[in-house]
Amino acid sequence: MQSIKLLLVSIVLVLITACGSKKPFAVQKPLENAALVYVYVLSETESGYSNTISKYDIRINNKKVSQNVSDAEYIALDLEPKSIKLSATKGQIEEQNLHLNLKAGETYYLKIVDKIEGTKFEFYEVSSATGEKEIAKTTLAGSSIESKEYIVDAYIKESKPERSEEKQNISKIDEIQKAYNLKEKGILTDEEFQALKSEILSK
């Protein structure tokens, strides 16, 4: 019984510490009959700007995207090919807008540059060549890499747990894995995944 408790504690610690590594930029292709829009924040330190980290809410035709984006992060949006208004809002106060005429199969790069204190941030479209170079230095907004191999190792090293409780614990890992897959597909946000993971572990 004691060994099972120690195992659960180990799993919780692993899940917490495994969330510290951000997912690097990964190239995507536009979905069929859709346009791919990247929104990213230029690294302030590399631009010579202040080190103050600002978060930006992104809206499409005044509808908020679930995940905000901050310094050296990006989000990828698969959008219907039509004319849209895409806006970035800083601190719920300052807003910049872009009007785009999206075309199917095309990829667009929108850059946010956080200026020094007291000046407005910039939000504008850049060329594919510039966007591809700059966005490669960013990480996916709100993401983290879950290290599942350590969880497997924890079970291998555990000696003779009670069968009924072992089955229950493995079931929890399966549930976490399913939730993680939903997050990878974009069905769950990172916040929703973390909340669901905590709920599973508390059962």
Pair (186, 102) in one structural domain: no
pLDDT at 1 over 90: no
Give the model confidence (pLDDT) of 177-194 as tens digits. Answer: 787 777 777 777 777 777
% of the chain surpassing 90 pLDDT: 38
Instruction: Compute the average pLDDT of residues 106-123.
Output: 84
Find how far residue 110's CA is from the centre of its chain.
17
CA dist 125 to 74, 151, 197, Å? 14, 43, 37
Pair (100, 54) in one structural domain: yes
Q: Determine the structural domain holding residue 66 and report its residue range.
A: 35-137
Identify the domain boundary among 84, 116, 137: 137
Best-predicted range by mean pLDDT (3-17, 39-53, 150-164): 39-53
Find how far residue 196's CA is from the centre of its chain.
16
Asked if 109 and 41 touch (Cβ cutoff 8 Å), the reply is: no
Pair (52, 114) in one structural domain: yes
Residue 86 CB contacts under 8 Å (≥ 6 apart), including other chains: 37, 39, 58, 59, 60, 97, 98, 99, 100, 110
Confidence of residue 44 (pLDDT cuts 50, 70, 90): low
Pair (109, 179) in one structural domain: no
pTM above 0.95, yes or no: no
Residue 109 placed within a domain: yes
Pair (189, 128) in one structural domain: no
Structurally, the chain folds into a number of domains equal to: 2
Confidence of residue 32 (pLDDT cuts 50, 70, 90): confident
Cβ burial 21-58 (10 Å sphere, 16+ → b, else e)? eeeebeeeebeeebbbbbbbbbbbeeeebeeeebebbb
Instruction: Compute the average pLDDT of residues 120-143.
Output: 92
